[in-house]
């Protein structure tokens, strides 16, 4: 098993998308990339902790590659919006790839460069590609939030 961590706006929709992918063994939503230890949702929502809402994915690389997960990440949000997705705004909604190895870093950077070279977007891609620091799991009621409520999506697709 390997780990991947992505931030692409509200973590409920991001998690729901990745949970559907064959080869993804588990997901959990949480907070990453900030300065506060063990932040709560209420604290992260103040936009003062520096954390992003993110999904941490455990995946089987023999069934789904990291490159495929990157493609899903790019396809399911607008990476040109700085610190926002749809109606949600603040640094907690930033677009970011938190890599867990030098190989993931290289692959993420190459995929971002390929998108930029293809000129798919009219604005620059703002997605951060940074090392994965400590991931703090969100409160239980956030885990599989949409699934628990029988909702298919809350995600705004670009």
Catalytically active residues are 10
Q: Of all residues in the chain, what percent are helix, strand and coil, respectively (each to 5)? A: 30, 25, 45
Per the structure, the count of domains in the chain is 1
Asked whether residue 74 is domain-assigned, the answer is: yes
Structural tokens at position 9: 């706006």
What does pTM read for this prediction? 0.90
Give the residue-averaged pLDDT of 41-47.
93
- pLDDT, tens only, 89-104: 889 999 999 999 999 9
CATH code for the domain of 34: 3.30.1060.10
pLDDT at 153 over 80: no
Return the DSSP state at 144: T
pLDDT at 155 over 60: no
Give me the domain span that covers residue 33: 2-148
CA 120, CA 110: separation in Å to the nearest integer? 15
Structural tokens at position 113: 């460069």
CA 100, CA 70: separation in Å to the nearest integer? 13
Structural tokens at position 142: 């956030």
pLDDT at 158 over 60: no
| Phi, psi for residue 96 in degrees, rounded to 5 | -155, 145
Residue 97 DSSP SS3: strand
- pLDDT, tens only, 64-74: 999 999 999 99
pLDDT of residue 35: 95
Give the residue-averaged pLDDT of 49-59.
96
**Average pLDDT value over all residues in the chain:** 90
Asked whether residue 12 is domain-assigned, the answer is: yes
Asked whether residue 115 is domain-assigned, the answer is: yes
Asked whether residue 153 is domain-assigned, the answer is: no
pLDDT of residue 149: 61
């Amino acid at each position: 098993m390997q780990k991947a961590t992505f931030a692409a706006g509200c973590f409920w929709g991001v998690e729901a998308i990745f949970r559907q992918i064959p080869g993804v063994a588990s997901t959990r939503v949480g907070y990453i990339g900030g300065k506060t230890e063990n932040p709560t949702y209420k604290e992260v929502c103040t936009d003062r902790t520096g954390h992003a809402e993110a999904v941490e994915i455990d995946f089987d690389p023999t069934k789904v590659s990291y490159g495929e997960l990157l493609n899903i990440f790019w396809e399911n949000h607008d990476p040109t919006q700085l610190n926002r997705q749809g109606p949600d705004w603040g640094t907690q909604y930033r677009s970011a790839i938190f890599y867990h190895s030098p190989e993931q870093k290289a692959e993420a950077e190459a995929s971002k460069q390929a998108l930029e070279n293809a000129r798919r977007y009219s604005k620059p891609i703002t997605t951060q590609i940074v090392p994965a620091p400590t991931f703090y799991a969100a409160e239980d009621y956030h885990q599989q939030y949409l699934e628990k409520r029988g909702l298919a999506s809350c995600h705004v697709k670009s």
